[in-house]
Amino acid sequence: MKILFMVHRYPPSIGGTQILAYNIVQGFRKKGHFVTVYTSAYPNQPDFEVREGTIIRRFKLKPHFLSRFLKHPRYITPQMFPYLLSSDVQDVDIIHGFGYCTFQSLLAVTSGKLRNTPCLLTPQYHPWGTIYANTAGIKVIKSANKIIAQCESEFKTLSRYIKESKIQKIPTGIDSSRFQNLPEHNLKEKFDLQNEKVILSVGKLAGHKGTDTLIKAISKLRHQFKTDVKCLLIGGGERIFEYKNLAKRLGMQDTVIFMGRVDSKTLLEAYALADVFVLPSLHESFGITLVEAAACGKPIVSTPVGVAFDIIKEDDTGFFCNHSDPDDLAKKIIRVIKDDRFSENARDYRNSVLANYDWSNVFDKTEEAYLSVL
């Protein structure tokens, strides 16, 4: 097959969408398919290149009236449209777009209709968005020939707008080989974590991630429940100074450790060390860190978002907690760290996660989705 991938950002840009698109592109290239990527310009990257056997075209960004409505207003690439009607992609078999309220997804479904080419869309949908997302964005989703939902909660939400038969559930994957043999706990000595229970949270320090709720819950664990804990926060973001000040005001500056962005080895060490993984987000379209934590055999406390419904077995491998509720979060965390049953169950569940979420399964299921619309 000849496949055109359309995504608003692509590596070396960093982010969840970029990782998903890149891995699917590489998977299909290795399967022997001819792959082209259309994306937005990125600093110090060429407009055209062939990298790892993949043709990549990057289009310059232009101001556009849609910028005030789109969720990702910085990635308007009008020069992309003429190329979609040119001989450059004359014999494309499949168009695969990412996002549902991006300029690239709009062009993906439009060019699919004009060229009579099947279009698949991975919308990474969640119901919080702009005016465009809640109006024209829904029409973009309806216009695709096939929709890929990444988890059960996304599947149920999308089924409000389109027939279930048009949706196929395919998760974001992980490289299961990375999680087979976890590294030693070298972080214990570095952060003096010999006697405390370790709580880990991984993600961008942004408002919707609920980091402030977690810091307040850690304070309650220390003061109200008299529990010796340390909290590792991995990730950077615009609110890091705000959250550091919050931890200081609550007297948690030595308890909450801001590790910033880390390399993959350090991330695995943190997962291996943790006694419980926590995700207090207000919303997630997927939440790959939940899969990673489960792949490391860790019990999880999370708000009911994204893939949490697929990963957490309530009162068995972890708990769901209320949004923006530090009291409930603290109670759920303490139940997990006080009862070894949760860690044992999470370790037993680990092999199932490694098998079901490996990239090889994602590639096979995505290929099935392509063939179903050809």
**What range does the domain containing 345 cover?**
177-356
Mean pLDDT to the nearest integer, 132-143: 88
Over residues 242-278, the pLDDT tens digits come to 999 999 999 999 999 999 999 999 999 999 999 999 9
Are 203 and 276 part of one and the same domain? Answer: yes
Are 216 and 97 part of one and the same domain? Answer: no
CA-based angle 311:317:318, to the nearest 5? 90
Query: At 66, which CATH number?
Result: 3.40.50.2000
pLDDT above 80: residue 107: yes
Q: What is the pLDDT of residue 319?
A: 98
Are 189 and 327 part of one and the same domain? Answer: yes
Confidence of residue 6 (pLDDT cuts 50, 70, 90): very high
Are 201 and 349 part of one and the same domain? Answer: yes
The H-assigned helical ranges of 250-318 are 264-273, 288-295, 308-311
3-state secondary structure of 198: strand
Please tell me the distance from the alpha carbon of residue 141 to that of residue 99, in angstroms, as a whole number.
Answer: 9
Dihedral, 292, 294, 298, 303 alpha carbons, nearest 10: 90
Are 139 and 182 part of one and the same domain? Answer: no
3-state secondary structure of 173: coil
Give CA separation, 122 vs 44, 46, 104, in Å: 28, 26, 12
CB < 8 Å & 24+ apart, contacts of 186-191: 186/269, 187/232, 187/266, 187/269, 187/270, 187/273, 188/273, 191/230, 191/232, 191/257
Are 144 and 277 part of one and the same domain? Answer: no
The residues near 36 (Cβ < 8 Å, ≥ 6 apart) are 2, 3, 4, 5, 54, 55, 56, 57, 88, 89, 92
Are 86 and 211 part of one and the same domain? Answer: no
pLDDT above 90: residue 186: no
Are 141 and 200 part of one and the same domain? Answer: no
Are 231 and 314 part of one and the same domain? Answer: yes
With a pLDDT cut of 70, the percent of the chain lying above it is 96
With a pLDDT cut of 90, the percent of the chain lying above it is 78
CB 295 within 8 A of CB 350: yes
Are 71 and 142 part of one and the same domain? Answer: yes
Number of domains in the chain: 2
Mean pLDDT to the nearest integer, 156-176: 95
